[in-house]
Every structure is written in structure tokens, then in C-alpha cells.
Amino acid sequence: MRARQTGQVLAFFAVALPLVLLPVAAYAVDSATVSARAAGLQAAATLAAEAASEQLDVATLRSHGELALDPGAAQNTALEELDADEPGATLDQVSVSGLTVTVVASESVRLPLPLLSRTVTLRAHAASRLVPGYDRPSSFLPFPTSSL
């Protein structure tokens, strides 16, 4: 009786391995793609928020002597920066509150090996704040010393 059962394990692995390993491999490829694109989208949203927070309202600064952001320039700058860094991304929202700019962006990513869905929508949220500079250098800066 034993002679008839010798090939059953091989047949089982021949059928079971593709059913188990192929979905795991597809998931690994899809998750690597999604995580790389999510990191790129987050970096682009952060750069867009930082660039937008640099858009100083010069008229308010000259007339009142206080810092304020120009919301229109911040919107345009965030859009340009996001388009340059992540061309497939969409700028969903730019909000200016005081000296803080908040950017919300999204991107639809097509999965290379779709098992459950073909696309995934990623969202990134970044905020940046304009802070006044300093009027004299700090004494805690590490200045170079001479080795002579």
C-alpha cells in the first residue's frame, strides 16, 4: 500500500505552493509600491507646506509691522511645489490660519498586481508655520576654532 502514496506530497506542494506563495508575493509587491508612493506624497506635501508658509504678505508687514501670510500666494506656491515634486498628486486643500499653512494632498495609485482592488487612494497632511527670525546670532552656535 505504501508504494501508491509516494507522490501525494509532491502533488500537494505543486498545488498548494502557488496558491499560497503567489498572493503573498503579490501583496509584498503592492505594499512596497504603496509605501514608496505614500512616502513620496508625504514628502511632497511637506515641501509644499514649507514653501507656502514662506509667502509673506508684504503689504501687511509694511503697513502694520507684523507678520502675515498671503493666502493666494500660499495656495499658488503649494500647487506649484506639489506639481513639481509629485506630478500625479492632487492638492485637496490649502488653509492659512495666522502664520500656519496646512496642506492636504491625495494621489490615486494603481497597484501593479491587483488582488482585491486596482487602485488605492493615498492622503497626506502637512503643516508648516512661519516664525520670525533672530536679530543676533546665538552664543550657543558651534563656531569653528583654529587648530594653529
- Cell digits for 114? 491587483
Tell me whether residue 3 is in a domain.
no
Residue pLDDT, tens place only, 41-60: 999 999 999 999 999 898 88
- Do 30 and 114 form a contact (C-beta atoms < 8 A)? yes
pLDDT at 147 over 70: no
Q: Residue 77 burial by CB count (10 A; 0-12/13-18/19+): exposed, middle or buried?
A: buried
* Enclosing domain of residue 80: 15-129
Tell me whether residue 106 is in a domain.
yes
Tell me whether residue 120 is in a domain.
yes
Q: What is the mean pLDDT of residues 18-38?
A: 88
- Do 78 and 55 form a contact (C-beta atoms < 8 A)? no
pTM confidence score = 0.76
Tell me whether residue 117 is in a domain.
yes
Tell me whether residue 104 is in a domain.
yes
Tell me whether residue 134 is in a domain.
no
Residue located via cell numbers 498548494: 16
Tell me whether residue 139 is in a domain.
no
Residue pLDDT, tens place only, 84-109: 999 999 999 999 999 999 999 999 99
Number of domains in the chain: 1
Tell me whether residue 95 is in a domain.
yes
Among the listed residues 9, 98, 101, the one whose alpha carbon sits nearest the alpha carbon of residue 46: 101
